[in-house]
Amino acid sequence: MTFPSDNIPRSRAVALRDALPPVMARALLALALAVALLAAQIGAALARAAPESFADLAEQVSPAVVNITTATMVSAPTGPQDMFPEGSPFEDFFRDLMPPGPDGEGGPAPRSRRSQALGSGFVISEDGYIVTNNHVIDGADEIKIEFYSGALLDAELVGTDPKTDIALLKVESDEPLPFVSFGDSEAMRVGDWVMAMGNPLGQGFSVSAGIVSARGRALSGTYDDYIQTDAAINRGNSGGPLFNMSGEVIGVNTAILSPNGGSIGIGFAMSSNVVTQVVDQLQEYGETRRGWLGVRIQDVTPDVAEAMGLEEARGALVTDVPEGPAAEAGMEAGDLITSFDGREVEDTRSLVRQVGNTAVGKSVRVVVLRDGKTRTLDVTLARREEAEATAIPASAPADQPAEEEVLGLTLTPMTDELREQLALPGNIDGLVVRGVAEDAEAYEKGLRAGDVITEAGQQKVASVEDLEARIEEAREAGRSSLLLLVNRGGDPRFVAIGVDEAE
């Protein structure tokens, strides 16, 4: 029997033998890479596709989800209203016969009774730390934890953070407890599948599923960063976990938007990236310790940006710098904060969150725009919870000049008498608004009598002549509006007013 190689000269056969392996290796490598890429694409597609069932995931995480029952002692008066309908003629009769109560009126002393509330939570460590909402346990005298297994344990409160509505509890157990881990809420995309677990309406352990409807929602808090979901969330779900498809907690179910008190598919879970920072501080200190910059700020609106000569409306505009870290670093009212600790500042909300998430005592570089030029300030953050207002000394007295009208505003320079009437601190100087024409732009922008214009064009103004000079400068610079710093009751804000109204 002969083989093809038998007909090939030995030298050529050897060369062919030596050449084939690298070619085959490259071909196999290319094939392997193609298969891996295809597998990754298929895996991603399957992850995005609707799961066949949530049963495996629910079974995996259920042991770490808990029901929370709280008890509180409250006072409840007793009297004839407990025995007869309201308005009954017997009500007054029996009240007169009963001994005086603590308030001197007829009726017995208030009696104490126990009020119970239900909520949810989840275990985050085998040694018994449990996360829930602050409003679930707020004011509770007793907190009991019911596990999926049916076990019941007493819990101690470690700490709370009302600003994010997060509370940390601790239970003692003879055995390691099943727990779940936090995931990265920033990795979640609108449309991703999520699963909520908890104790809705006191019915016991329950599972609901849906998708991420929106991200970055703010309800009422300074540090809000909610994930919106259409997974059913009802009363009793508060404090329960919102899972991704890997079984990681990416949110804490907190609130719903509903006209009837039940789920209509608009629920909110505090994002895990906020919760983890709060929990870490509560676990370490029993309280939160947020960074404090020491400034008052406002968003940059398009008209404010135009008045400042900015190309776009972004950053955080400083309206006041009381005594504190920023003042010590040289920050001034009118500075536009564009970067904090190496990260761009989009608006006031992003700055507040960045500062709050930065360690107390850390020295950070803050980039501000002042008079068209950037400056970098080194600021050592203080602790927000300990920040206190500082008294400011009174300024020198001023004379009372006549009123003048500019931009639809009736103005007069500040005097000690006006300052006292308006209950303003002694360092507030400028032009007092005595009246605003209702057809003026200033009225539409919210200026009212009693406001004080302290700056115009980011320069201090002490007289109407100063204001008129700033108006002319804005016109000569080709700007259609002028930026005013307005103080109302000690609270400053910037307002852009069109200079075309001046006559």
Question: Which CA distances in Å does 191 have to 229, 247, 256, 400?
Answer: 9, 17, 19, 63
Most confident of 49-63, 125-139, 394-408: 125-139
Type of residue found at 387: A
Number of Cβ within a 10 Å radius of residue 177: 21
Q: Catalytic: which of 115, 125, 135, 395?
A: 135
Domain boundaries, the chain: 55-74+110-288, 295-386, 404-501
Q: Residues with Cβ < 8 Å from 233, sequence gap 6 or more?
A: 196, 198, 200, 208, 253, 256, 263, 267, 268, 269
Q: Tell me which of 3.40.50.2000, 3.40.50.720, 3.40.640.10, 2.40.10.120 is the CATH number of domain 55-74+110-288.
A: 2.40.10.120
Rounded (10°) CA dihedral 137, 140, 144, 147: -10
3-state DSSP call for residue 297? strand
Kindly tell me if the per-residue pLDDT of 303 is higher than 90: no
Most confident of 33-42, 112-121, 390-399: 112-121
When comparing pLDDT for 168 and 96, which is higher?
A: 168
Q: 55-74+110-288 and 404-501: same fold?
A: no
Q: Residues with Cβ < 8 Å from 421, sequence gap 6 or more?
A: none
| Percent of the chain at pLDDT exceeding 90 | 41
Instruction: Name the strand (E) or helix (H) holding 100.
Output: none
Rounded to whole angstroms, the Cα distance separating 207 from 210 reads 10
Kind of pairing between the strands at 404-406 and 409-413? antiparallel
Q: Is 165 a catalytic residue?
A: yes
Query: What CATH fold (topology level) applies to the domain 295-386?
Result: Pdz3 Domain (2.30.42)
3-state DSSP call for residue 366? strand
When comparing pLDDT for 414 and 251, which is higher?
A: 251
Banded pLDDT at 398 (limits 50, 70, 90):
very low
Q: Catalytic: which of 120, 206, 213, 238?
A: 238
**Largest separation between any pair of C-alpha atoms in the chain:** 128
Q: Is 429 a catalytic residue?
A: no
Q: Is 238 a catalytic residue?
A: yes
Q: Catalytic: which of 161, 165, 224, 320?
A: 165
Rounded to whole angstroms, the Cα distance separating 233 from 264 reads 9
Kindly tell me if the per-residue pLDDT of 115 is higher than 60: no
pLDDT of residue 40: 63
Number of Cβ within a 10 Å radius of residue 114: 10
Query: What CATH fold (topology level) applies to the domain 404-501?
Result: Pdz3 Domain (2.30.42)
Rounded to whole angstroms, the Cα distance separating 466 from 485 reads 14
